[in-house]
C-alpha cells in the first residue's frame, strides 16, 4: 500500500490517468487530500480507496492501510513538505514528492542525518524538474567529466498548473543563486539568448532551479552550476516591481488565492501534446547537449510511476537523495519520449 496526497490536483489527476492507461503494476494506492467530494469521484473512477484529512489533522489521525511510502503531490511545498516530513520521520515511513522549490529542498537536505539515522528514505523531486534537468547534467558529465562550469537552461512548454505558478510565486522573493563549490551563491538577475535545435532564438533568464540543490548533493565533483529558464520578455519588464509586491505577505496571500481560483481553467488550457526542451553547456568543451522531452506534467507522471516501481522493486537507502540521483539510467530509461542530441558549440545552442 502507498498513499498519494494531493491526488485531486492537476498533476495528481494526470498521474492517475497515465497510470491507468499504462497498465503499470504497482501495489494498491490510497488516494488522499483535503477535499472529500473531489476524492470520492476520483476513487469511484479508478476504483481506489480514499481518506480525507488536512495537514493540520495529520498528527491526530491514523492512516489506513499502513502505507510504505507517502507520495506528496500537494504544493506549494513551502507549506506542505514539513508536516509530511515530520510525520514520516516519526513513523518511519518513506517519503517522495515532486518539489521544485529550492528552499524546501535545502531544508530537507539539512535534515539528512536525522532521516538516515531513522532509516527513512526521502526521495524529493521525482517530477520533470529535476529528473530531466539532473539527467541532462549527468549525461553531459558522462561524456565530458572534465567540464566544471555547467549551464542548464529549461524551456518548459504546454502550460502551467496553478500549483506550479503558486510554487514559483512563493519562491520568487528569495532571490537568484548559482551553485559553486559546496554553496549557493547570490547573483544578479540576468539573461542570455540561445538558439535551440529548432533554429529559433529564445531568451533564458536566471532562475534558482531545484537542480542547484539536488544535483551537487550527489555529483560530488561538480564545481559550478548555473540554471536558466526561458521566459517571455514581458515578464522580465515587470519583474523588479513584482518581486517587491510579492514580498508583502497580504498581497502574496491574495495572489495565491487568485491563482488557485484559476486552477480548473489552467488545467483545461494545458497542451499535453507539447514538447519541452533544455540545454546543457560548459564553456570549456566543444559540444552542447540538447534534450527534448514530452510535456512537463506528462513527464512528471511517468517519472513518478517509474520511481515508485523502482522503490517497490529495489527499495531505497535511508536519507535524502533525489529520485534521479538514486536511480539514474534506470529511471531515465523508463520515461518515454526523451531524446538527446549533441551539437557542436559553433552551431545553434
Ligand atoms: N517538479 C516538477 O516538475 C513538478 C511538476 C508538476 C507539479 N509540481 C508541483 O506539484 C505541486 C502540485 O501541483 P499541481 O499541478 O497538482 O497543482 P494544483 O492543480 O494547483 O493542485 C494542488 C494540490 O495541492 C493540494 N494542496 C495545496 N495546498 C495544500 C495544503 N495546504 N494542504 C493540503 N493540500 C494542499 C490541493 O488540494 P485542494 O484541492 O484541497 O486545494 C491540490 O490537490 C506544485 O507545488 C507544483 O509546483 C512539480
Closest residue CA from atom 46 of ligand 1: 164
Does 261 reside within a domain? yes
The answer to whether residues 19 and 123 belong to one domain is yes
Per the prediction, the chain carries an average pLDDT of 94
For residue 165, how far is its CA from the centre of ligand 1 (angstroms)? Answer: 10
Tell me how far apart the alpha carbons of residues 163 and 126 are, in angstroms, rounded to a whole number.
16
Closest alpha carbon to 159 in 267, 258, 256, 29: 267
In a domain, 145, yes or no: yes
Q: What pTM did the predictor assign?
A: 0.96
Q: Considering its fold, how many domains does the chain have in total?
A: 2
**Are residues 291 and 318 located together in one domain of the fold?**
no
Ligand 1 atom, smallest distance to 126 CA: 1
CATH code of the domain containing 65: 3.40.50.720
38 shares a domain with 21: yes
Q: How far is the CA of 260 from the centre of ligand 1 (A)?
A: 10
- Residue 10 and residue 142 in one domain: no
Give me the mean pLDDT over the 45-50 stretch.
98
Mean pLDDT for the stretch of residues 28-51: 98
> Does 201 lie in the same domain as 141?
yes
What is the CA(267)–ligand 1 centre distance, in A? Answer: 12
Q: In what order do the strands lie in the sheet with 2-5?
A: 50-52, 29-33, 2-5, 69-72, 94-97, 121-123, 319-320
Q: Is 349 within the bounds of a domain? A: no
Residues 153 and 277 in one domain: yes
Let me know if residue 268 belongs to a domain: yes
Radius of gyration (C-alpha) of the chain in whole angstroms: 20
Query: From atom 45 of ligand 1, which residue's Cα is the shortest distance away?
Result: 75
Contact 324, 136 (CB under 8 A): no
Residues 40, 28 share a domain: yes
Cell readout for 123 is 526521495
For residue 349, what pLDDT is reported?
44
Cβ atoms of 270 and 300 closer than 8 Å: no
- pLDDT for the residue 347: 54
Instruction: Quick: pLDDT tens for 124-168.
Output: 999 999 999 999 999 999 999 999 899 999 999 999 999 999 999
pLDDT of 231? 84
- Rounded Cα distance, 22 and 37, in Å: 26
User: 227 CA distance to ligand 1 centroid (A)?
Assistant: 23
Same domain, 312 and 284: no
Task: Note the pLDDT tens digit of each residue in 11-27.
Answer: 999 999 999 999 999 99
Q: Is residue 53 part of a domain?
A: yes
In this structure, the answer to whether residues 86 and 217 fall within a common structural domain is no
Examine the pLDDT at 282 and tell me if it is beyond 60.
yes
CA-to-CA distance for 328 and 216, rounded, in angstroms?
Answer: 14
Q: Whose CA is nearest to atom 26 of ligand 1?
A: 74
- The torsion of the CA quartet 305, 300, 54, 88, rounded to 10 degrees, works out to 60
Which atom of ligand 1 has the smallest separation from the CA of 7?
A: 43
Question: 283 C-alpha to center of ligand 1: Å?
Answer: 37
240, pLDDT greater than 70 = yes
- Which residues lie with the beta carbon below 6 Å from any ligand 1 atom? 6, 8-12, 33-35, 54-55, 73-77, 79-80, 98, 100, 125, 127-129, 161-164, 167, 263, 296-297, 300
Same structural domain, 290 and 326 = no
Kindly give the number of the ligand 1 atom that is closest to the alpha carbon of 100. 1
DSSP states along 189-239: --EEEEE-TTS-EEEEEE---THHHHTTTT-TT--EEEEEEE--HHHHHHH
Protein residue closest via CA to atom 13 of ligand 1: 163
Among 40-54, 195-209, 292-306, name the one with the lowest average pLDDT.
195-209
Q: Contact 310/327 with Cβ under 8 angstroms? A: yes
Distance from the CA of 265 to the center of ligand 1, in angstroms? 15
pLDDT value at 238 more than 80: no
Same domain, 75 and 143: no
**Probe target for ligand 1 pocket from 3, 5, 6, with the most ligand atoms within 8 Å of CB:** 6
Report percent pLDDT > 90 for the chain.
86
Check residue 348 and give its pLDDT: 45
From the list 21, 105, 33, 116, the residue with the least C-alpha distance to 71 is 33
162 with 78, same domain: the answer is: no
Under the banding of pLDDT at 50, 70 and 90, the label for residue 235 is confident
Of 290, 303, 308, 291, nearest in space to 131 by CA: 303
Full residue range of the structural domain in which residue 250 is found: 128-296+336-344
Phi-psi region of 88 (alpha: psi -120 to 50; beta: other; left: phi over 0): alpha
Residue 156 lies in a domain: yes
**Domain assignment present for 182:** yes
Pairing type for strands 177-180 and 183-186 reads: antiparallel
Which domain CATH number covers 235? 3.30.360
- Those residues whose C-beta lies under 8 Å from the C-beta of residue 117, and which sit 6 or more positions away, are none
Digit-coded pLDDT (tens) for 194-222: 888 777 888 999 999 999 999 999 999 99
- pLDDT for 300-312, tens place per residue? 999 999 999 999 9
Amino acid at each position: 500500500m502507498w498513499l498519494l496526497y494531493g491526488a485531486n490536483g492537476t498533476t495528481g489527476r494526470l498521474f492517475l490517468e497515465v497510470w491507468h492507461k499504462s497498465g503499470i503494476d504497482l501495489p494498491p494506492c490510497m488516494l488522499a487530500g483535503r477535499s472529500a467530494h473531489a476524492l470520492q469521484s476520483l476513487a469511484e473512477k479508478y476504483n481506489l480507496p480514499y481518506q480525507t484529512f488536512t495537514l493540520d489533522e495529520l498528527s491526530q489521525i491514523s492512516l489506513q492501510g499502513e502505507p510504505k511510502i507517502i507520495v506528496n503531490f500537494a504544493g506549494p511545498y513551502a507549506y506542505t513538505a514539513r508536516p509530511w516530513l515530520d510525520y514520516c520521520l516519526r513513523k518511519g515511513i518513506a517519503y517522495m514528492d515532486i518539489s521544485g522549490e529550492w528552499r524546501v529542498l535545502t531544508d530537507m537536505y539539512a535534515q539528512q542525518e536525522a532521516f538516515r539515522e531513522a532509516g527513512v528514505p526521502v526521495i524529493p523531486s521525482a517530477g520533470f524538474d529535476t529528473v530531466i534537468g539532473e539527467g541532462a547534467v549527468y549525461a553531459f558529465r558522462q561524456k565530458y567529466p572534465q567540464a566544471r562550469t555547467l549551464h542548464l537552461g529549461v524551456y518548459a512548454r504546454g502550460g502551467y498548473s496553478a500549483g506550479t505558478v503558486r510554487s514559483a510565486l512563493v519562491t520568487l522573493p528569495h532571490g537568484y543563486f548559482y551553485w559553486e563549490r559546496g554553496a549557493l551563491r547570490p547573483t544578479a538577475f540576468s539573461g542570455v539568448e540561445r538558439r535551440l535545435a529548432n533554429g529559433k532564438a529564445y531568451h533564458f533568464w536566471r532562475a534558482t532551479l531545484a537542480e542547484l540543490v539536488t544535483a551537487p548533493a550527489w555529483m560530488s565533483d561538480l564545481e559550478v552550476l548555473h540554471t536558466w529558464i526561458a521566459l517571455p520578455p514581458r515578464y522580465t519588464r515587470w519583474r523588479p516591481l513584482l518581486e517587491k509586491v510579492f514580498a508583502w505577505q497580504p498581497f502574496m496571500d491574495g495572489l495565491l488565492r487568485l491563482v488557485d481560483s484559476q486552477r480548473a481553467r489552467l488545467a483545461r488550457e494545458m497542451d499535453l501534446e507539447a514538447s519541452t526542451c533544455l540545454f546543457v553547456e560548459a564553456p570549456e568543451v566543444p559540444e552542447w547537449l540538447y534534450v527534448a522531452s514530452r510535456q512537463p506534467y506528462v513527464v512528471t507522471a511517468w517519472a513518478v510511476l517509474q520511481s515508485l516501481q523502482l522503490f517497490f522493486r529495489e527499495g531505497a537507502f535511508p536519507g535524502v537523495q533525489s529520485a534521479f540521483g538514486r536511480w539514474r539510467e534506470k529511471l531515465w530509461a523508463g520515461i518515454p519520449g526523451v531524446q538527446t542530441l549533441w551539437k557542436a558549440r559553433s552551431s545553434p545552442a
